Amino acid sequence: MKSAGVQRQYSGTAGKIENCQLGVFLTYATAQGHTFSDRRIYLPEQWCADRERCRQAKVPAAIGFATKPELAVAMLRHAWGQGVPMRWVTADAVYGEASVLRDVVAASGRWYVLAVRAHGSVRPERPEVAVPAWRGRGRKPTKERARDENARPIPIPALVASWPDSRWQRLQGAEGEKGVCIYDWACQRVVENQDRLPGRDAWLLVRRTLTEPHECAYFLSNAPPETRLQTLARIASTRYTVEQSFEEAKGGTGLDHYEVRYWPSWHRHITLSMMAHVWLAWLRRRRNQKKGGVNPFWPSCPCLK
């Protein structure tokens, strides 16, 4: 296991823990198409703690440990610094669960629709918060808490279970590799729960399958209150273009066809494969323009994996 970043770890592609190498990728989707934008290799903590091992894999000395969401933040900030136009950011729950990523996107003035896990919780209304009065015993309180002890966050599945049937709308998304995607969607304005305190106002967006209504996917979005359900659903659905880009690159530009050990070698191979995919995406865009076809479904939206 001397190849850069390789160790036993969870792989989303395999759906299990195995000996593998992981990367974090930023893709970009517009009405004209979708392709790769940036990449970072994920270096686990055990690797970063073993500098000799890193030296043998030619990992730069300045590289330290960074979580996957932190790598995503670095790529987004780089894209913004390069002037890449974007209004939305979407990603799966690995990134949506990270408050740092949500905070960075919101602070930039952009909007996110990020998947979150079912074990999360939100607040239907914003409670009043204050530093509790000190009663002369114990340590003096310094942190704010909700005034109403009963105003606790509600588990997301419990809140969704209380929604009436009239809240759900059946929407058809874009046609992908597996045909037209149709789901039931619903949303509600909530307050994010952050460090046990009320966070920013947000949308809780939920998608459920038609055949298995109990199977739901959950998303949080900082989009404005006037945002329509159809818009939120479209942005959440944009993430499928990540998987499509990977399928195309693996089958057409050799993204996963490499046997390299060193840090620079991985970046060279992945970068060349991404460049080839960009070229193919440009050819597809030019062909579609000649045919007069533009997909109105997609806004400009970076997607993370």
The answer, yes or no, to whether residue 69 has pLDDT greater than 70, is yes
For 184-242, how does the pLDDT look when each residue is reduced to its tens digit (9 = 90+)? 999 999 999 887 788 899 999 999 999 998 899 999 999 999 999 999 999 999 988 99
Q: What mean pLDDT comes out for the span 112-134?
A: 85
CA distance 223 to 188: 12
DSSP 195-239: TTEEEEEEEEEEEE-SS-TT-EEEEEE---TT--HHHHHHHHHTT
Nearest Cα neighbor of 199 from 111, 150, 127 is 127
Q: Is the pLDDT of residue 72 over 90?
A: yes
The backbone torsions φ and ψ at residue 17, rounded to the nearest 5 degrees and listed phi first, read: -85, 130
Nearest to 215 by CA among 122, 118, 97: 118
Enter the tokens of residue 104.
């960075």
Name the percent of the chain lying above pLDDT 90.
69
What residues form DSSP beta bridges with 185? Answer: 169, 207
Greater confidence (225 vs 301) lies with 225
pLDDT at 147: 61
The Cα 218–Cα 158 span in angstroms is 12
Indicate the pLDDT class of residue 297, thresholds 50, 70 and 90: very low
Average pLDDT of the residues in 144-149: 64
Q: Give the Cα separation of 86 and 102 in Å (integer).
A: 15
Residues 7/19, Cβ–Cβ less than 8 Å: yes
Task: Please give the mean pLDDT across all residues of the chain.
Answer: 89
Question: HSE of 161 in the Cβ direction (CA atoms, 13 Å)?
Answer: 8
Residue predicted with more confidence, 282 or 303: 282
Whether 26 has a pLDDT exceeding 90, the answer reads yes
pLDDT of 296 reads 46
pLDDT above 70 for 292? no
Task: Give the rounded percent of residues in the chain with a pLDDT score beyond 70.
Answer: 87
Tell me which of 14-23, 92-101, 108-117, 122-131 is least confident.
122-131
Q: Which of 295, 302, 255 is nearest to 277 (CA)?
A: 255
Q: In the prediction, which pLDDT does 141 show? A: 66
* Distance separating alpha carbons of residues 17 and 15, to the nearest angstrom: 7
Report the C-alpha gap between 117 and 92 in whole angstroms. Answer: 9
What pLDDT is stored for residue 57 in this prediction?
95
Q: Distance between CA atoms of 123 and 126, rounded to whole angstroms?
A: 7
Residue 298 has pLDDT above 50, yes or no: no
Question: Is the predicted pLDDT of residue 158 greater than 70, yes or no?
Answer: yes
Residues 6 or more apart whose CB falls under 8 angstroms from that of 29 comprise 238, 241, 298, 300, 301, 302, 303
Residue 64 Cα distances to 6, 40, 48, 98, 174, angstroms: 16, 13, 6, 19, 40
* Residue type (1 letter), 223: A
Supply the pLDDT for residue 127: 79
